[in-house]
Amino acid sequence: MTKKIGFIGCGNMANAIIGGILSAGALKPEDIIVSNHTSPKLEQAKAKYGIATTLSNKEAAAQCEILVLAVKPQYFSEVIEEISDDVPDSTVVVSLAPGKSLEKISDMFGRDLKLIRTMPNTPALVGEGMTALCPNQLVTPEELKEVRRLFDSFGKTEVVSESMMDAVVAVSGSSPAYVFLFIEAMADAAVMGGLPRAQAYTFAAQSVLGSAKMMLETGKHPGELKDMVCSPAGTTIEAVASLERSGFRGAVMEAMRACMKKSASM
């Protein structure tokens, strides 16, 4: 069991991970410390989770076996410069930042450290996150197993090579936004058809949830599951044909390509 995990940054993703870990009982509140440059978010986190908080990034960095860097990419180098001398060589440093390679992070610290690059997503808040993990060569199998255990507590994990991380950003890190946009569009259309908005959101969201669960649990190809819904001369194939005419799949692929390009340039 990990004695202490620290988070530098107390934004949405840090809160999603902390909430998921505690909800699953993977750690106790006293095992977690969070730092942030302003007090309000820390006060909210302390009140909600009962965890330790500090305004000092250096304090959080010095006392943790696992240190999660949960700051925005534009502040990454600044924070690492601040804490570099306080991070023990034995600490496993976990990065949540898109576009920051293991090599770049190591260069920022100015020395070799145990590093795990990750890409989680916000559904961790409801225990259904998806996280990719990419360790460097200094991370032991036991250390990777421990970090993976924590991330598994709020969803699913996969270990991937670093060359795949930009694709992971597009397909899971950023994709909840695409899904929410899709749900909103379906609900808007349902409202046009006469459904009250609250019910429209429920119908749309539950259908997305059920469809995803059906694919994961059956192991069937999405095309096969789509065909199961498309009866000959039926309503669904008409809707699918309309989506195809509008370039639905191409639009999704282009959006993800743009996301990957942005990730690679960060």
Would you place residue 3 in the very low, low, confident or very high pLDDT band (cuts 50, 70, 90)? Answer: low
Would you place residue 258 in the very low, low, confident or very high pLDDT band (cuts 50, 70, 90)? Answer: very high
Please say whether the beta carbons of 150 and 2 come within 8 A. yes
Would you place residue 1 in the very low, low, confident or very high pLDDT band (cuts 50, 70, 90)? Answer: very low
**Percent of the chain predicted with pLDDT > 70:** 99
Note the CATH architecture for domain 175-265: Orthogonal Bundle (1.10)
Identify the weakest region by mean pLDDT among 1-15, 72-86, 217-231, 238-252: 1-15
Identify the weakest region by mean pLDDT among 49-53, 122-126, 179-183, 237-241: 122-126
Phi and psi at 252, nearest 5°, equal -65, -45
188-216 pLDDT, tens digit each: 999 999 999 999 999 999 999 999 999 99
Note the CATH architecture for domain 5-165: 3-Layer(aba) Sandwich (3.40)
Identify the CA nearest to 54 among candidates 77, 86, 24. Answer: 86
155-172 pLDDT, tens digit each: 999 999 999 999 999 999
* Angstrom distance (rounded) from CA 37 to CA 39: 7
* Angstrom distance (rounded) from CA 30 to CA 125: 20
Would you place residue 185 in the very low, low, confident or very high pLDDT band (cuts 50, 70, 90)? Answer: very high
Indicate whether 180 pLDDT > 50.
yes
20-43 pLDDT, tens digit each: 889 888 899 999 999 998 899 999
206-257 pLDDT, tens digit each: 999 999 999 999 999 999 999 999 999 999 999 999 999 999 999 999 999 9
Please give the helix or strand (H or E) that residue 114 lies within, else none: strand 114-119
> Can you read off the two tokens belonging to residue 203?
């119908």
Phi and psi at 232, nearest 5°, equal -55, 130
pTM, entire model: 0.88
So where are the chain's domains? 5-165, 175-265
Please say whether the beta carbons of 40 and 11 come within 8 A. no
3-state secondary structure of 36: coil
Longest dimension (CA), the chain: 68
Instruction: Name the amino acid, one letter, at 121.
Output: N
